[in-house]
Structure formats: C-alpha cells, structure tokens
C-alpha cells in the first residue's frame, strides 16, 4: 500500500508543470522554468529565474537600484526539502554595473550569504539549532555539523540585526578570566533581561569606554539608570 502511495506521489510530482513548481517554490519574483526528479536518489532539482515583470536589480555593494546588466550566471543552492526529496534550486542571477561600485553581483534577499543555501533553509537550520545540538540539526537537514554551526551563526547575526533590543536601564559590567594567554574579557549585560550585550578585550577603562562610544547613542547613555560593577577601579572611572 505504502509502495503504491509512493508511486502515485511520484507520478503526481513528475506530471506537475513548471507553473505549479513556481507556486510551490514560492520565491517572490521568480519562476521555475525547468524541473527534474530523481526518484531513486530522492532529489528534486528546480531551475528558477526572474519573472519578466520583476527586473528591479539591486547592487550588492551599495544597495541602490541599478539597471545595467553585465551578464547572467547560475548559482546552485539547497532549499527546504519537498516531501522526501532533497531540493536544490539552480537560480539565474545577474552581475550588474553600478555607477558607484562597478561590476557587482545583484543583491537577492532570498540568498543572504555566499553559502550554497537559501534564506529559508538557513532559517530552518538556525531554528532547529535553537533547541538541538548542531549534530542533530545536521541529521535533520543533511549538511555536516560544522556547516550547521556556520549557518546558525549567520542566522543569529541576521536575527540580531533585525530584532528590537530592549532598552538598557540597569547594566551589569563584569570580567571573565580566560586564562594566562588571553587574560580578561569585559562583559556588559542587561540586568533587566539577563542578556549579555557586548564583549570587549581586556578590562581597562578604555574597554568600557568603547562600549559606551560604539554601542549606545547619547540618548541611550542617558537612559541608563543604574550600573552594577565590582570594585575594579577602571570600570568605575569609565562609568
Ligand atoms: Zn553599488
């Protein structure tokens, strides 16, 4: 029975037209123009390119709109699996000539890094890593544990850039001893949320000065109500 279901499913997948695959893939602005199924290897390959109506190209250097295309090229990325099928998308991309930056690749939100994975795939790996070890996330998605860790770091960096950070009202400053070679790092944390905010090398007045200078605006500095530090003099001087 299960075998029959599988054969039927395969027949459905094979009979599907590229326009159906376009809808299933669901990449905004892109259409599937070719697909390939490998039943034995359980692999699905889709070829996608921009819809003709969507030719708003963005320079990856400066983020501005550009109109001059130098050439097109193909990039192969892993996307989320489809049923039992490991899914690869071969996507057509452009190199553009930007008045400010010269020849650059176009910026595509679906492909946030140079690694061969779609954003959706990286998000799923990152989310799986929140609740499981990298080795388990790797088993679930296929890439090696080290790849999962790299994907997870990019996922967290993007998450950190876009999320709203709670205001810093009560700050904690502490130092961690890392051993003879690296000595100390300074850790600034938000005591309201219990979240570490920033790490700096050593434990000098300049270390903490750097935090205040680079991480907080004048307004944010003024909003800090209390600071909890130990008896270490340089921190108190900085505050
Ligand atoms: Zn540019």
Same structural domain, 150 and 182: no
Same structural domain, 157 and 215: no
Same structural domain, 155 and 123: yes
Q: How far is the CA of 82 from the centre of ligand 1 (A)?
A: 36
Same structural domain, 25 and 106: yes
Upper half-sphere CA count for residue 224 (Cβ side, 13 Å): 20
Say what the pLDDT of residue 52 is.
84
Same structural domain, 98 and 156: no
Among 124, 140, 163, give the residue marking a domain's end: 163
Q: How far is the CA of 89 from the centre of ligand 1 (A)?
A: 26
Asked whether residue 14 is domain-assigned, the answer is no
- Which residue has tokens 């935090």? 211
**Total number of domains in the chain:** 3
Rounded to two decimals, the pTM is 0.67
Say what the pLDDT of residue 1 is.
59
Q: How far is the CA of 178 from the centre of ligand 1 (A)?
A: 42
Q: How far is the CA of 216 from the centre of ligand 1 (A)?
A: 29
Same structural domain, 124 and 105: no
Q: How far is the CA of 49 from the centre of ligand 1 (A)?
A: 22
Say what the pLDDT of residue 163 is.
79
Distance CA 136, CA 149 (A): 11
Say what the pLDDT of residue 2 is.
63
Using the CB atoms, write b or e for 71-106: b if 16+ within 10 Å: eeeeeebbbebbeebbbbbebebbbbebeeeeebbb
Same structural domain, 88 and 44: yes
Same structural domain, 105 and 118: no
Residues in CB range of 59: below 8 A, 6 or more apart: 65, 66, 96, 98, 100, 101, 104, 106, 107
Residues in CB range of 50: below 8 A, 6 or more apart: 29, 30, 31, 92
Same structural domain, 30 and 102: yes
Say what the pLDDT of residue 114 is.
87
Same structural domain, 42 and 93: yes
First to last CA, the chain: 72
Q: How far is the CA of 60 from the centre of ligand 1 (A)?
A: 6
Asked whether residue 12 is domain-assigned, the answer is no
Distance CA 65, CA 107 (A): 10
pLDDT tens digits, 21-75? 999 999 999 999 999 999 999 999 999 999 987 678 999 999 999 999 999 999 9
Distance CA 30, CA 53 (A): 10
Q: 101 lies in which domain range?
A: 19-110
Show the low-confidence residues of the chain (pLDDT under 70): 1-3, 15, 54
Same structural domain, 105 and 59: yes
């Amino acid at each position: 029975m299960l075998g029959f279901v599988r054969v039927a499913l395969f027949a459905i997948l094979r009979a599907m037209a590229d326009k159906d695959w376009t809808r299933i893939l669901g990449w905004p602005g892109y259409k599937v123009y070719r697909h390939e199924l490998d039943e034995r290897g359980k692999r699905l390959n889709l070829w996608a390119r921009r819809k003709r109506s969507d030719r708003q190209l963005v320079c990856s250097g400066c983020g501005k709109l550009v109109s001059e295309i130098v050439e097109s090229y193909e990039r192969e990325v892993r996307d989320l699996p489809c049923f039992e099928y490991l899914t690869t998308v071969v996507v057509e991309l452009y190199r553009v000539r930007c008045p400010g930056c010269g020849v650059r690749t176009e910026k595509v939100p679906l492909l946030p890094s140079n690694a061969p994975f779609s954003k959706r795939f990286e998000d799923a790996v990152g989310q799986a890593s929140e609740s499981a070890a990298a080795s388990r996330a790797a088993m679930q998605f296929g890439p090696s544990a080290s790849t999962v860790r790299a994907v997870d770091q990019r996922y967290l960096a993007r998450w950190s850039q876009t999320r709203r950070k709670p205001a810093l009202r009560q700050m904690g400053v502490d130092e961690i001893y890392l051993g003879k070679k690296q000595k100390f790092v300074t850790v600034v944390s938000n005591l309201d949320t219990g979240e570490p905010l920033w790490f700096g090398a050593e434990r000098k007045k300049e270390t903490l000065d750097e935090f205040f200078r680079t991480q907080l605006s004048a307004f944010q500095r003024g909003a800090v109500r209390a600071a909890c530090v130990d008896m270490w003099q340089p921190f108190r001087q900085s505050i």
